[in-house]
Amino acid sequence: MSKRFQLRDALAEFPPYVPGKPPVASPGLTPYKLSSNENHLPPLPGVVESAASASAIPGNYPDPTAAALVADIASHLDVEPAEVVPGAGASEVLTALTNITLEAGTSVVYPWPSFEMYPILASARGAEKRPVDLLEDGRHDFAGLAAAIDDTTRLVLLCSPNNPTGPTITDAELEGFLAEVPESVIVVLDEAYLEFATEAADSLAARAKHPNLVLARTFSKAHGLAGLRVGYGIADAEIASAMRQVIAPFSVTAGAQAAARESLARVDEVAVRAKEVAAVRDRFAHDLRELGLSVPDAQGNYVWIALDPEAAVAFEGECAKQAVAVRRLQGGVRVSIGPDEALERVLKVAASL
């Protein structure tokens, strides 16, 4: 079939990002979506009101620099405002990093399975993708990642906690790896789920020692603002300046900026809620293991169940019959932490299979 329009050949090399499925309705059952790692808790007091107030005049553009939000983030993390890059979620931050580093003839190294956007972004830039299989326990294979880097490598993507498997990166792992990476190669640490982790590397301290380390964070998960699309990167001022060049103007709306500032002002409450989610996660992971399932160390707001393809299809299908949507990916099924009733149905399916 001939093409009507001149589109990039690279589009044929990767499928579009597929979001988590919505739940299938089942008579008599409340549907639950546990397929997108959304925060199921209600918004913090004042957050919705702040977003609504800032959006009262929708005809006006938001502050393109998000100066007030940037100042709040910089103060909270004790970094310079010039090192903070806001974006429409961590996804836009990651997109900006691929746009300033990757092109045909370059390569990007990343763990796999991990966040599904990594290979999509690499293909979109025409770069060579170098996925490195995770270890059996769902952790990064740092020896393999280091071995995959060569003179063409411009970017390395790490994920802690890793999505979808769950483990975090330790201080020793991060420091040891950064010591092996050429200083000209940018290493990105995707920390979208950091607030849920009970143990993780001190990435801010590592960044102070390694200017090529960039942190990608978001208000989508622990802060519960996924629908407003606001995240940020922490990077060396030179890298941050380049990122701002390629991020679309006004991408973080006025409502999103205001909501993020209000939530950041309540960061202690965010931390308490994240710990509550983590406690439920730990109990859920324990119960799944008691049923004989293979569940790696879970540090995000989700649990990974390692399954062969046939079992994963069956698990997803049985959950759907219970009006619960889970996420089937390569190597297993990811289940987001949600209300107790939803998790009890997943345990019921696990026990039956």
pLDDT digits (tens, 9 = 90+) for 25-76: 888 999 999 999 999 999 999 999 999 999 999 999 999 999 999 999 999 9
139-178 pLDDT, tens digit each: 999 999 999 999 999 999 999 999 999 999 999 999 999 9
Of the chain, the end-to-end C-alpha distance in Å amounts to 44
- Predicted local distance difference test score (pLDDT) of residue 56: 93
Report the range of poorest mean pLDDT among 20-34, 189-203, 264-278.
20-34
Distance, CA of 93 to CA of 67 (rounded, Å)? 17
Q: What is the pLDDT of residue 353?
A: 87
pTM, 2 dp: 0.95
**Residue 27 CA: distances (Å) to CA of 31, 82, 325, 340:** 10, 54, 15, 19
Looking at the DSSP bridge assignments, the partners of residue 26 are 29
Going by the DSSP 8-state scheme, the letter that residue 300 receives in this structure is S
Mean predicted confidence (pLDDT) in 230-245: 98
Q: Cα–Cα distances in Å, from 346 out to 33, 36, 85, 336?
A: 12, 15, 39, 11
Cis check for the bond before 113: say yes or no (omega within 30 of 0).
Answer: yes
Tell me: pLDDT of 11 over 90: no
The reported pLDDT for the residue numbered 203 is 98
**Average pLDDT, integer, range 223-244:** 98
- Are the folds of 9-43+268-352 and 47-266 the same? no
Two structure tokens written together for 2: 């001939």
Preceding amide of 161 cis, omega within 30: yes
pLDDT over threshold 70, residue 2? no
The sign of the torsion formed by the CA atoms of 120, 222, 278, 44 equals negative
Average pLDDT of 6-20? 80
In degrees rounded to 5, what are phi and psi of residue 286? -60, -45
CATH fold, domain 47-266, is: Aspartate Aminotransferase; domain 2 (3.40.640)
Write down the pLDDT at residue 1. Answer: 45
Task: Please provide the size of the chain in residues.
Answer: 353
Question: What is the per-residue pLDDT for 239?
Answer: 98
The yes/no answer on whether domain 9-43+268-352 falls in CATH 3.90.1150.10 is yes
- The DSSP letter of residue 240 is H
CA atoms of 77 and 69, how far apart (whole Å): 12
In the chain, where the domains are located: 9-43+268-352, 47-266
Q: Using 50, 70 and 90 to split pLDDT, how confident is the model at 20? A: confident
